[in-house]
Amino acid sequence: MNDNKSKFPIGELAQSASSSSPKVDELAEKKKNQKKSLIKMGVMGVLTLILLIFSSLSWFTQNRETSVGDMQIKTATLPFDIATKGANVRNQSVINSKRSEYVEGSSGPYSNPSGTSGTYYTDDSLLLRYTPEVDDPNTTDVDESITPDISPGSSGELSLYVIPKTDSSMKVKVSLNVVAFAEIDKYDVSTVTNAETNEEETVYTNNGTQIVEITSLADFTTAANAVNNSTAASEAAKYIAAADYLKGHILFFGGLGETTTNSGSSGSETVWEYYYTTPYTSRIINQKIASGNEGKAVQVPIYWMWTNTLGQIALQTNTNNLRSGIPVVEESVINLTDDTDTDKELLLAYLNTNKSSVFTVTETITQDMIYNADALANFETLSKQYNAADYEIGTRIAYFMIEVTVESDS
């Protein structure tokens, strides 16, 4: 930086002896300096750019869909293991064909915080398990041996446990993701010469089905074309929309609701007043694990539901008797001006934010309609489009996967 000074030391005259005039000399020097600083700036710019690329690269990895094969790297630094418990794995062959990294894991006995011991399975990429519900043999409900497929009205609990490696309290962050798959017909293409016209004809022969993950329009179209299913390829946008509806219609909750006892002539029975509390509308759970649980299986309660009717979600009072079925969360009149968010307020806000994922939106849906669903006209519009979305899900989606990511949360 002190080039000037070294060229013109104090006490020395400027090179007046030189042939050129001092003014021209100064100008040339100035120009030289300008050039120098330009190069410096250029270098700085390049370096900044490199830094930017590096930092944006890291930014990119932070937000990337977590589907790469690096998953097998041992994560010894996490202060906990994850575990699951239950008799069976649902649709194991299907999930293994699509996500081979998920394994049953190693089983071992663990006890829960209250001391009850059981068999749990642990691994870093774990297939969640479930235990089929034991049906009451005294009732004539549906076939007890068959695990029912999922349809509107279905619900369940994810069997997810955290086993801390230390006795200190910790926080875990659980992210939930819903991934949809379609099952489309596969075709073999062959060319056959027509005996009458002697012309070559393309013949499509059905050859079973293919399960395709619904990610993007381009990927789905490619996958459909790969199995020569031009119908599915041309309807790719509808499959994408259906996957979006599925994500909108599966709701997650953190706790069970209230029951009430009805007594009638045929005896008393316990029925749900509402099913759940604590909706996880952001799909992110910040769960605190209490201290003193080293080596114990602590459950992270996650309930999911594919609500059958809109009335169960959106109605605040049901004064017009529009609801069929039991409310999903406690019904209450919303108050948007107070500070606290009730479960009902959270759900309605969710419906409003995710309008296009919950409703087919063939007719305009406004926030006002969602926040006033008890009015018959609003209810009819919303309900119709909620059901239409359900139909789209049912006709396009064959499987869906709930993916759970567990991290340390400081």
**Chain positions contacting other proteins, by CB under 8 A:** 43, 47, 50-51, 54-55, 57-58, 61-62, 64, 66, 70-71, 73, 75, 77-78, 81-82, 84, 89-92, 94-95, 98-99, 101-102, 124-128, 130, 148-151, 158, 160, 206, 246, 265, 390-391, 393-395, 397-408
Q: What is the DSSP letter of 106?
A: E
**163 touches 82 (CB < 8 A):** yes
Q: Which residues contact 169 (CB under 8 A, 6 or more apart)?
A: 288, 289, 290, 291
- Closest CB to other proteins among residues 124, 341: 124
Phi, psi of 69 (to 5 degrees): -75, -5
Q: Which is nearer to other proteins, 358 or 369 (CB)?
A: 358
Provide, rounded to whole angstroms, the least separation between the CB of residue 139 and other proteins.
13
> What's the closest the beta carbon of residue 145 comes to other proteins, in angstroms?
14
The three-point CA angle 360-364-368 to 5° equals 110
Are the CB atoms for 366 and 348 separated by under 8 Å? no
Residue with Cβ nearer other proteins (185 or 330): 185
Widest Cα–Cα separation across the chain: 123
CB of 222 to other proteins, least distance (A): 23
Q: Closest separation between CB of residue 170 and other proteins, Å? A: 14
Nearer to other proteins, 112 or 173 (CB): 173
CB of 281 to other proteins, least distance (A): 20
For residue 91, the SS3 value is coil
Identify which of residues 55 and 169 has a Cβ nearer to other proteins in the complex: 55
Nearer to other proteins, 77 or 116 (CB): 77
Residue carrying structure tokens 């009732």: 139
Backbone angles phi, psi at 243, to 5 degrees: -65, -35
From CA 284, how far away is CA 338, in angstroms rounded? Answer: 24
Q: How far is the CB of 370 from other proteins (least distance, A)?
A: 25
